[in-house]
Amino acid sequence: MNYFKDCKSVQAIKKLYRQLALKNHPDKGGDLRTMQTINIQYTTALKTFDNTTQDNYTYHYNEYTEKSIMDKIYDIISKNMNINISLIGSWIWITGNTKPYKNILKELKCKWHSKRKCWYWHNERKRKFYSKSDVTLEELAEKYGYKDFSRSKNSVTY
């Protein structure tokens, strides 16, 4: 089965991947073999959009970055926290009632952003300016693209 054959954009691929990961991840009662197949197809589907432009944004596939983001989102989702998880560009932002999960987020190598009052994670190999800037999450989402990976039904949308 090709899970991503009908996807027409990077955003559609990532949205479908999120849904499939929440349903099929072994930590959520899913099958390891199925999740491995989904991961391979996800990577292959993203590669087909390398250097394509959609909505004034040119997507550049980077295997290391995609894998590290995917792995970190897995790690966060597997902890069963009632939080909002957002992917903005290549940064993961964690909002909502995060205080009960402070130690877990620290263990996951997430960092607290004192100005934005939320947690974030980013692959340090490709550091950009916006972890310390005064730009809002909404402005970042508009500029770099946004994808919600929240477990909560009351998630914030930008």
- Judge whether residue 143 has pLDDT over 80: no
Domains, the chain, in order of start with CATH, read 1-61 (1.10.287), 81-158 (no CATH)
- Reported pTM: 0.62
Top pLDDT among 52 and 107 is at: 107
- Judge whether residue 125 has pLDDT over 70: no
- Crossing angle (nearest 10°) for helices 63-77 and 10-24: 40
- The per-residue pLDDT for 56 is 66
SS3 147: strand
- The per-residue pLDDT for 119 is 96
Q: What is the pLDDT of residues 8-58, one digit of tens each?
A: 888 888 888 888 888 887 777 888 899 889 988 988 998 888 877 766 667
Q: What is the pLDDT of residues 50-105, one digit of tens each?
A: 877 766 667 777 778 888 888 898 889 888 898 999 888 788 999 999 999 999 99
Q: What are phi and psi of 27, to 5 degrees?
A: -70, -15
Return all residues near 2 (Cβ < 8 A) that are at least 6 apart: 41
- The per-residue pLDDT for 152 is 44
Task: Render 49-108 in DSSP notation, one character per residue.
Answer: TTTEEETTEEE---HHHHHHHHHHHHHHHTTT---EEEEETTEEEEESS-GGGHHHHHHT
Where does residue 60 rank: exposed (0-12), middle (13-18), buried (19+ CB within 10 A)? exposed
